[in-house]
Chain A
Amino acid sequence: MDVMDLFSTDILNSILDTSKVESGKMQLEEAEFSMSDVLQESVDMANVTGVRRGVEVIWDPCDFSVLRCAAVLGDSKRLKQILDNLLGNALKFTHEGHVLLRGWATRPIAGSGVGTPSRFAHPRRSAGGSLARLFRGRAEDPDGQDHVQNDPNLVEFYFEVVDTGIGIPKEKRMSVFENYVQVNNGQGGTGLGLGIVQSFVSYYSIKSNTYK
């Protein structure tokens, strides 16, 4: 069994996480952590598989904004889970070339309203754009959004996990985030990974009052 399989498709944990999210009982921890440490750890781990396969795995610091970031508050375990899952997925379908993690850190501009979704609203990205709009609708909690925009201590981290693998056909992109759906059959796994990832990313921690 691949090391990758051990961390990305730990079946039991996936099912437990999924049911936790579905029942609305998931709690995000809020603890101090260093973003660059988490990224480094995740990419280093993925690199173990990458070295064996001859695939280059590296964290591209882009404009070095993440490296400049001091400690942040949040749930580092869940974030790591997201990253591990996406990197594991990317490696699973990439047999030559590279798997990159790109990261940026910005402060959302208060009041402009453009802050967060600007990068997602790229005109070329028809499928992604509509998907993003779908989620934005959920994220735009009327009383939550104001808090997000006005908090001067808030940092937006934007990540891209890029691979040179087989790719996902456009028509199937909508369904990859659904639970138990696997676009490429016969690769093992449960089909829960990306569903969990999506839940974690968009999970707006109203219960734990993260932004209040």
Chain B
Amino acid sequence: MGGEICIKDKEPGERGTCFAFNVLLKMSEVQQTHQDIEEGPSVPLGTLNGSNYRASAFQEASSFKGVHCVLYVHGSETRRILQTWMESMGVKVWLVRQAEFISATLEKVQSSSVATAAADCGGGDRCFSSKEMVNQLRNNTGPKRASLGGIPSGILLVIDVSGGALEEIYQDMAKLARTKQQAPCKVVLLEDIKTPSNELRRLKEQGCYLVLRKPVHGSRLFTLLMTLRDLQASDAHAQSSQVGPEIAGNNSQQQGLPDVVVPCVQEAAASAEAPCLVQKQKPEDDKPLAGMQILLAEDTFVLQTIQRKILNQLGATVTVAVDGSVAVNLLKQALEQANVSGEEIVPLPYHVIFMDCQVCSTKTC
């Protein structure tokens, strides 16, 4: 393998031995081209594909700013590795030394919103920090809570059950299950071959997302990475659903027309109150145009068919006019009907008119 091996000196005062060696290996070209082809996160088939898939997941730059991790892990090296790895991705890590402090730390994380932000920037020169603090506090009130280290956008709770103190952990988890979490929270249990399975089952019943066997390395780090992504995704989801109704509310207040309404139909402004429009605001899965009345003026038969089909598929009701004069007549009729029915402003029959500019007999347009 063309390498060499030697014994390295450890740092002065450190016990033990350090063997160092290197090997030279070729990258598998077949796999590289393969990787380029499947860009999307497809389901890996073979074991080698699986590890290539994992490798590509680690190649992507991930940032989990705003995610907090409460880390209760035995073994100083495991703890150090996990902490370094998570901090390299922007996760704020809270180390817990004893099992009985897990829930206390978790409470601290959740109540940390303003307090930590202030404490974080107040750590330096207090005379100069006040303005930044104000800015930071102001920022905190905005919707982008994930942008600062203070307010958690998700909490990952890593609990090592391999070192005993299971009763305390059980209490902590039971407490956790009872309290309502502000931010999405996932519990990962670490166990080893010595962990009694009945105890583990009891702990799992308290609601845990994942159980990993120690040592936490390689593919298990990958699993943790995916958990962090899940956490981030669930937070994004929670935020968007929070924002959603606000937008809808604003729109109905403004009585604004959706952009799709063609401005040339001046009378259409009156139809703003059309109830079906407001209904339509909520995106129906496949039919964003559901409830829409559309007048389509198009003389070419093929285009007519295609457009009608597409609009129908999107959920709209389409009336086709084969030329301009038919379209004008249809609109006139509709307006007359509307006038006849009373002085009240009545919704127009068409929300949108699609007009071919070169449709024949368009002198009236």
Q: How far is the CB of B248 from chain A (nearest CB, A)?
A: 43
Q: Given that A74-B25, A132-B6 are known contacts, is A201 also in contact with B18, CB under 8 Å in the complex?
A: no
Judge whether A73 and B21 touch: CB under 8 Å.
no
Judge whether A51 and B194 touch: CB under 8 Å.
yes
Judge whether B52 and A139 touch: CB under 8 Å.
no
Pick the residue among A28, A40, A198 that contacts B217 (CB under 8 A): A40
Judge whether A68 and B17 touch: CB under 8 Å.
no
Which residues of chain B are within 8 angstroms of A78 by Cβ–Cβ distance? Answer: 1
Judge whether B5 and A60 touch: CB under 8 Å.
no
With A and B bound together, what is the CA distance between A117 and B75 in angstroms? 33
Which residues of chain B are within 8 angstroms of A72 by Cβ–Cβ distance? Answer: 25-28
Q: Which of B197-236 contact A (CB under 8 A)?
A: 214-219, 221-222
Judge whether B28 and A119 touch: CB under 8 Å.
no
With A and B bound together, what is the CA distance between A151 and B27 in angstroms? 10
Judge whether A67 and B54 touch: CB under 8 Å.
yes
Q: How far is the CB of B214 from chain A (nearest CB, A)?
A: 7
Q: Given that A158-B20, A158-B22, A165-B16 are known contacts, is A139 also in contact with B27, CB under 8 Å in the complex?
A: no
Judge whether A61 and B85 touch: CB under 8 Å.
yes
Which residues of chain A are within 8 angstroms of B193 by Cβ–Cβ distance? Answer: 48, 51
Judge whether B25 and A116 touch: CB under 8 Å.
no
Pick the residue among B5, B24, B32, B47 that contacts A108 (CB under 8 A): B24
Q: Which of B53-91 contact A (CB under 8 A)?
A: 54-56, 58-59, 75-78, 81, 85, 88
Judge whether B28 and A70 touch: CB under 8 Å.
yes
Judge whether A154 and B23 touch: CB under 8 Å.
no
Which residues of chain A are within 8 angstroms of B275 by Cβ–Cβ distance? Answer: none
Scan A14-50; emit 1 where CB is below 8 A from any B CB, else 0: 0000000000000010001111110110011001100
Judge whether B217 and A148 touch: CB under 8 Å.
no
Among B26, B48, B218, residue most surrounded by chain A Cβ atoms (within 10 Å): B218
Q: Given that A32-B31, A128-B7, A162-B18 are known contacts, is A67 also in contact with B58, CB under 8 Å in the complex?
A: yes
Q: Does B51 reach chain A (CB closer than 8 Å)?
A: yes
Judge whether A155 and B48 touch: CB under 8 Å.
no
With A and B bound together, what is the CA distance between A177 and B4 in angstroms? 12
Q: How far is the CB of B29 from chain A (nearest CB, A)?
A: 6
Q: Does A179 reach chain B (CB closer than 8 Å)?
A: no
Judge whether B24 and A161 touch: CB under 8 Å.
no
Q: Which of A139-164 contact B (CB under 8 A)?
A: 139, 144, 148, 151, 153-164
Q: Does A180 reach chain B (CB closer than 8 Å)?
A: no
10 new A-B contacts, CB < 8 A, other than A51-B192, A73-B27, are: A43-B215, A60-B81, A61-B218, A64-B58, A72-B27, A116-B24, A124-B9, A125-B6, A131-B6, A161-B18
Chain A interfacial positions (CB closer than 8 Å to B): 28, 32-37, 39-40, 43-44, 47-48, 51, 56-61, 64, 67-75, 78-79, 82, 86, 89-90, 93-94, 97-98, 100, 108, 116-117, 119-120, 122, 124-125, 127-129, 131-132, 135-136, 139, 144, 148, 151, 153-168, 173, 176-177, 197-198, 200-205, 210-211
Can you spell out 24 A-B residue pairs with CB atoms less than 8 angstroms apart?
A51-B192, A58-B215, A60-B217, A69-B27, A70-B35, A71-B31, A72-B28, A73-B25, A73-B26, A89-B19, A120-B6, A120-B20, A125-B8, A129-B6, A132-B6, A148-B24, A154-B25, A156-B22, A156-B23, A157-B25, A159-B21, A162-B10, A201-B3, A203-B2
